Structure 1
Amino acid sequence: MSNLIVERHTNNVEWWQQAIGYQIYPRSFYDSNDDGIGDLNGIRQKLPYLKELGIDFIWLNPIYASPNVDNGYDISDYQAIHPDFGTMAEFEELLNEAHALNIKIIMDLVVNHTSDQHPWFIESKKSKDNPYRDYYLWADATPEDLPNDWQSFFGGSTWTYDETTEQAYFHVFAKEQPDLNWKNPKMRAEIYDMIRWWLDLGIDGFRIDAISHIQKEPWDFKITDNQWAPFMNVNGIETYMTELKALFNEYHVLTVGEASGVSSDEAVAWTGTDGYVNMIFELEHCGRIGELGEQKGSIPHLKETLTRWQNSLADNGWNALYLENHDTPRSISVYGDDSPKSAKALAGILLMLKGTPFIYQGQELGMTNFPFTSIEQVDGKDTLYAYHALLEEQPALSPDEALKITMNWSRDHSRTPFQWSQESFGGFSNTTPWLAVNPNYQTINAELAQENSDSVFAFYQQLIRLKKAHEALIYGHYDLLLEEHPTVFAFTRTTDNDKWFIIANLASDATTVTIADELLVPTWQPILSNTEPLPLTQEMTLDGFDLHIYRQA
């Protein structure tokens, strides 16, 4: 069936519209040499597992040379592999073996900033007239009088003063991650040469990190309501994005932009027929509700945001779909109740929407948030900063209270090692890993999941096969139903000759819904459920985290 889809759409769609992506955080995937850190050979050894799951391409988080201030997003050499992960030869071996299995690989492209240990920045700091000075953003300053009061994503000023040259340099993220000056054509030319080098090596595309931040407002820009406005999708960015688009088009590769600040209305300009990239990751749907330290994902916000993006890109452009990644807690803990049933309900929503789904490593097992009990267990620099800032700002808070608040939405939840088996350290390594393994690895692991036909893993396999086999689930029109219901996410996917109905109760309590008369004719056939199948009737009672998928007979 999938081959027929390809033939019918040869003229107007791309392979990635029918593909399932899988994100790998290399440090935490599989350790092949027992140093406690995941590596390229570990990924290569687990390719058969990914093939069994049914994915079509891998997105690798950064594997470049880096001081690891921000876990590889501070790159010191774009064309070298960090020794923790292996060698360039081992990367090429991984690429070749993946391609032999018809699995493509896209890399993380980090070009908003470099490491402060990158040779360009080392040169740039030497003097104001150094040839590399303008590869970065410098401004006159004193330690007490910085160019402006803008705040970085990691907390604190976006400026760091340099005594040697008596100026300050700009950084959206940590001070060890100076921003590149995209106004400099020489710098851009070197970046483009580097991109070509990787594409000539044979990779299949890029996930482009923080790309919507490469253009900045003038330093005297006054912030009103959005503190990130000075460096988020600023006018003028289209010049650089158009250049990047031309380069990518030379190779006809997959491009996925991390584009915070790009609204659903603007998404067509980024991903449509004349857009810069094939799809973008939006950050809007990750809203949360509840008391500090006990926040959960908001289902009404999730429905509204995803629906708005589905509608904005209905006729032009394409959605990149995700519920979790290396920057978010585990979706089963955010939107679910840590149960396999809730993991399956969320999987059904993710896979049945229009767009390219990205599964984050361990999501297909139902891996959960980690039960942090000490700040000593934490690695994330932003979380550590938030924890200490909270204690300083609110002296009445106990360390345990501050830990609960900061860990509630910490990135470290998703970065704990992959749980492969019941063996020590979850089968990830034979030695103590760089980050602790979730103690529930005894019951949640790949080995058990692959042996169990009712596992979360098996359900993902079923959903993947279902999506790939039916044109309506890939290209069909999306319509939201039961819009006002606080916990039920229901929608249809429709083509001229096929119609599907997906309904899930994303709460632990049962609820009763009324299905409109016009939806009940003709009859519907139950296709897939995470519980006992229910006939589609006018009054339906959905138990907690029930998911049902129907096809019109």
Structure 2
Amino acid sequence: MNKKWWKESVVYQIYPISFLDTNGDGIGDLRGIMSKLDYLKDLGIDVIWICPIYKSPNHDNGYDISDYQDIMKEFGTMDDFDLLLREAHARGLKIMMDLVLNHTSDEHPWFIESRSSKDNPKRDYYIWRKGKNGGPPNNWESYFSGSVWKYDETTDEYYMHLYSKHQPDLNWENQRVIDGMHEMVEWWLKKGVDGFRFDAIAHIVKAAGLPDGDNPNHLPTVRAYDLFSNLENVHTLLNNLYERVLFHYDIMTVGETSGLGPEQALSYVGDTRNELNMVFQFEHMQLDAASGGSGKWNIRPWNLLELKKVMSNWQTVLHEQGWNANYWCNHDQPRSVSRFGDDTRYRVESAKMLATFIHMLEGTPYIYQGEEIGMTNIAFQSIDDYRDVETLNFYEEQMNEGVPEEKIMQVIWKKSRDNARTPMQWNISEEAGFTKGRPWIRVNSNYALINVEDALKDPDSIYYHYKKLIALRKEHEVIVYGKYELLLADDEEIYVYTRTLGGSRLLVILNFFGNEPELTLPHDLNLDTRELLVSNYPVKGDDDLSQTFRLRPYEARVYMLKA
């Protein structure tokens, strides 16, 4: 059993612009994070993952970086960050930075030079090509819709941007780019940060020759994921980063890697690979997206059998070979209780059930800000209230195609990234205690019912359920390292699994829906030895567990048995 501190940790993700504003400008800041360190420490988490805080024009909420070694002025100063780091460490909390290596801002000094002329020394720091047949160099489509190519009149060529036109892709075939990125990473490590989440890391290598993608529908652009995702040389570059820089520091690393299964993930996180500690997988995030059409915006109902298949595969393949990063939502995904639970009648019960599921799996659990109090999706009536570039591009694209606005908005209400980006709901004061000014994006109107202050007063709140789950993980080694086994694989409503380590066996029972299904447990489970560790409902004195019993809506129970 390969024990590591980051395997035994729980991570809390902060989206700083929406966490807490201390100077009244409507934008969260570093001092806001600092003021809540004791709150996070009390919750029990170990690592704070902070989304990008670097200097940025903020076209994509900080993921367009213009200076990797400076702080965006709205968030504060480098002195503020240094103080935050010291204060976190003083409480035993670690800080993980969010770092974008695939692209920079178009206002980064490198790109300003690169676009100035074809013979500039930094021209080859980015990916430039001549147009073809009066249009872009190839037919690849951006993640934010439209071509990945932006024409630049200065030099009569196109530059590549897999994301926004304000986020030009770096050329990772240029050794000077590699050296510069390595130096920057080490600069942060010397400062004392405890790890990195590498954004879009799977895309730093593009297919040789940049060929057109398959285009059966003869569209102007096509999503050619296999030509710019998870290519073999990504591993060469990551191994090189590890050997030259990361190896020398006791840190945690997680990569954002879409488009792969657990077998491919082992190429990144396998114990002998020397690349990353873990990756974020997206297979369970795609269960409610129909194939084809507009990607994630093409919604279909998800089902539990598919979720079981995906999660069980990751749990089984990575056991004792790599490590999982387990999550339900983040800054790019809708709120989990609105997506996989019931955010009205059974909001509390389903939020606790979803938390139980994630925290009892093998892998490092990630909590996204507000998840610990059951924050929900928003449904702004006007597109003018949305801020996310991906959402706005989708709206414009659909309107241009003649799709009724009402239909567009219904999709946006379910899948917009702004669902997770509304301000943290601290109390019932104006703007939910997030700011004394006008927030950069509107606060969810349900903050009077859902907020931290009320959660802390209620011993049966979602917050205290999270706190209990985190404490149990630190108390029982089987929760961290135990082997996963799925039970009742064909049940369409109930998810049951065990975790086994030595003489300890964990039994996790989850009702994923609002019905009251009957559960019959396998006879080989030693129920006579049971100890109830946690439940999201009051349980009777003898806990009424038997081989067959009826579950309540969204019920979750965790038992300790003898193996």
Match 1:236 to one of 233, 237, 241:
233
Name the structure 1 match of 2:220: none
Q: Secondary structure at the match of 2:6?
A: helix
Match 2:96 to one of 85, 106, 115:
106
Q: Secondary structure at the match of 1:236?
A: helix
Q: Give the Cα separation in 1 of the matches to 2:122 and 2:501.
A: 55
C-alpha offsets along residues 66-85 of structure 1, whole Å, 9 cap, x if unaligned?
11111100000000100010
- The alpha carbon displacement at 1:537 in A equals 1.7
- The alpha carbon displacement at 1:145 in A equals 2.5
Name the structure 2 match of 1:284: 283
Q: Secondary structure at the match of 2:85?
A: helix
Name the structure 1 match of 2:259: 261
Match 1:300 to one of 284, 305, 312:
305
Q: Secondary structure at the match of 2:205?
A: coil
> Is 1:357 aligned to 2:355, yes or no?
no
- The alpha carbon displacement at 1:407 in A equals 2.8
Q: Which runs of 5+ in 2 are unaligned?
A: 217-222, 291-296
Name the structure 1 match of 2:20: 30
CA contact (8 A) 1:298 1:335 kept: no
- The alpha carbon displacement at 1:436 in A equals 0.7
CA contact (8 A) 2:339 2:414 kept: no
Alignment size in residue pairs: 541
Q: Give the Cα separation in 1 of the matches to 2:153 and 2:445.
A: 47
- The alpha carbon displacement at 1:165 in A equals 1.2
Q: Secondary structure at the match of 2:495?
A: strand
Q: Give the Cα separation in 2 of the matches to 1:404 and 1:34.
A: 33
Q: Give the Cα separation in 2 of the matches to 1:302 and 1:250.
A: 38
C-alpha offsets along residues 465-507 of structure 1, whole Å, 9 cap, x if unaligned?
1111001111010001111112211100101110110011111
Name the structure 2 match of 1:220: 211
Q: Secondary structure at the match of 2:166?
A: coil
TM-score, with length taken from structure 2:
0.93
Name the structure 1 match of 2:318: 313
Q: Give the Cα separation in 2 of the matches to 1:297 and 1:19.
A: 30
CA contact (8 A) 2:349 2:555 kept: yes
Match 1:322 to one of 308, 321, 327:
327
Q: Give the Cα separation in 2 of the matches to 1:492 and 1:73.
A: 39
CA contact (8 A) 1:520 1:538 kept: no
Q: What is the correspondence of 1:450-529 to structure 2 with a 5 Å cutoff? A: 450-520=456-526, 522-529=528-535
C-alpha offsets along residues 499-551 of structure 1, whole Å, 9 cap, x if unaligned?
11001111111111221111245542222110133433221211210001111
CA RMSD of aligned residues (A): 1.7
Query: Structure 1 residues 425, 143: CA separation in 2 closer, same or farther (over 3 Å shift)?
Result: farther
Q: Secondary structure at the match of 1:130?
A: coil
Name the structure 2 match of 1:52: 42
- The alpha carbon displacement at 1:371 in A equals 2.3
Answer with 527-536 or 340-349: which moved more: 527-536
Q: Secondary structure at the match of 1:371?
A: coil
CA contact (8 A) 1:520 1:536 kept: no
Q: Give the Cα separation in 2 of the matches to 1:298 and 1:127.
A: 53
C-alpha offsets along residues 359-418 of structure 1, whole Å, 9 cap, x if unaligned?
00000000000122110110011111111111221x2x4322211123321100000000
> Is 1:539 aligned to 2:538, yes or no?
no
Q: What is the correspondence of 1:67-466 to structure 2 with a 5 Å cutoff? A: 67-141=57-131, 144-217=134-207, 218-223=209-214, 227-246=224-243, 247-275=245-273, 276-289=275-288, 297-338=302-343, 339-393=347-401, 395=402, 397-466=403-472
Q: Secondary structure at the match of 1:494?
A: strand
CA contact (8 A) 2:99 2:197 kept: yes
Q: Secondary structure at the match of 1:15?
A: coil
Q: Give the Cα separation in 2 of the matches to 1:281 and 1:348.
A: 19
CA contact (8 A) 2:18 2:421 kept: yes
- The alpha carbon displacement at 1:154 in A equals 0.4
- The alpha carbon displacement at 1:262 in A equals 3.1
- The alpha carbon displacement at 1:296 in A equals 5.2
Q: Give the Cα separation in 2 of the matches to 1:392 and 1:89.
A: 47
Q: Secondary structure at the match of 1:460?
A: helix
Answer with 191-200 or 478-487: which moved more: 478-487
Q: Give the Cα separation in 2 of the matches to 1:293 and 1:251.
A: 43
C-alpha offsets along residues 151-187 of structure 1, whole Å, 9 cap, x if unaligned?
0100000111112212111111111100000000011
- The alpha carbon displacement at 1:253 in A equals 1.2
- The alpha carbon displacement at 1:130 in A equals 0.5
Query: Structure 1 residues 109, 302: CA separation in 2 closer, same or farther (over 3 Å shift)?
Result: same
Q: Secondary structure at the match of 2:255?
A: strand
Letter in 2 for 1:335: F
- The alpha carbon displacement at 1:238 in A equals 1.8
Letter in 1 for 2:192: G
C-alpha offsets along residues 204-234 of structure 1, whole Å, 9 cap, x if unaligned?
0100000000000131254379631110101
Q: Give the Cα separation in 2 of the matches to 1:295 and 1:333.
A: 15
Answer with 235-244 or 503-512: which moved more: 235-244
Answer with 256-265 or 325-334: which moved more: 256-265
Name the structure 2 match of 1:3: none
Letter in 1 for 2:411: I
Letter in 1 for 2:285: C
C-alpha offsets along residues 319-347 of structure 1, whole Å, 9 cap, x if unaligned?
01100000000000000001111000001
- The alpha carbon displacement at 1:143 in A equals 8.3
Q: Which runs of 5+ in 1 are unaligned?
A: 1-8
Letter in 1 for 2:280: F
Letter in 1 for 2:560: R
Q: Give the Cα separation in 2 of the matches to 1:140 and 1:287.
A: 35
CA contact (8 A) 1:492 1:500 kept: yes
Identity over the aligned pairs, expressed in percent? 44
CA contact (8 A) 2:6 2:364 kept: yes
Q: Secondary structure at the match of 1:189?
A: helix
